[in-house]
Amino acid sequence: MAITVFRGDKVILTKSFGKMQNIGNMYEVADFTSTNIVLRDCATKVAACAVSVTDFSNYFDKAENAIGKWTHWHPVIDGLGDVVCFYRTNFKKIEVRIFTSDKFYVTAKATCCKNDNFNMGFGIHLAYLRAIKKQCEIEKNKYENKIVEPNEEYEKKIAELNEEIGNVKNNIEKMCRE
């Protein structure tokens, strides 16, 4: 389905396009010809790419059309090529899903405040930290429930998980203050 755009329109990357991998990034229509649409980064105003008119709607959507529609789940891959978590977004909220050691998953969310600009990277990081905290709390509860009589191994694991929860909580608070 073709999308009608004009100079200055805001568009969102909805599917990876060449080297543009950050789904959810917002761009502005800078110029167009009969065959291409030229986009620039909304924040820096630096030219980002030229996309053919025929391919445009496969990779981009107008911001007002994209907000509110959930994307498919996408993997987040670390520097070693391992999948760390999965995320999806509706360009106002982000959900992150991590898998636990017993093959279940934990989901956490990050949501933009009314006046915030959507920031995909920040949202994924925040939701990921919240998911890690949730996972640690679940693990801690498992250990606490297993203790029948005092056991040094379980108590050590609970102390480690409490420390991990505290560290993650501090990181979340630090991110939100900056």
**pLDDT for res 70:** 84
The SS3 call for residue 91 is: coil
Considering the domain architecture, whether residues 82 and 44 belong to the same structural domain is answered as no
For 57-103, how does the pLDDT look when each residue is reduced to its tens digit (9 = 90+)? 888 888 777 777 788 888 888 888 888 899 988 888 899 999 877 77
Considering the domain architecture, whether residues 130 and 101 belong to the same structural domain is answered as yes
> pLDDT: is 13 or 131 the higher one?
131
| Domain total in the chain | 2
Compute, in degrees rounded to 10, the torsion defined by CA atoms 69, 72, 78, 81: -150
- Domain range enclosing 87: 74-177
For 153-170, how does the pLDDT look when each residue is reduced to its tens digit (9 = 90+)? 777 877 888 888 888 888
**pLDDT for res 176:** 76
Whether residue 5 lies inside any domain: the answer is no
Considering the domain architecture, whether residues 18 and 46 belong to the same structural domain is answered as yes
Considering the domain architecture, whether residues 136 and 78 belong to the same structural domain is answered as yes
Considering the domain architecture, whether residues 59 and 124 belong to the same structural domain is answered as no
User: What is the CATH number for 39?
Assistant: 2.30.30
Choose the final residue of a domain: 45, 66, 87: 66
Choose the final residue of a domain: 39, 66, 93: 66
Residues near 18 by beta carbon (within 8 Å), at least 6 away in sequence: 49
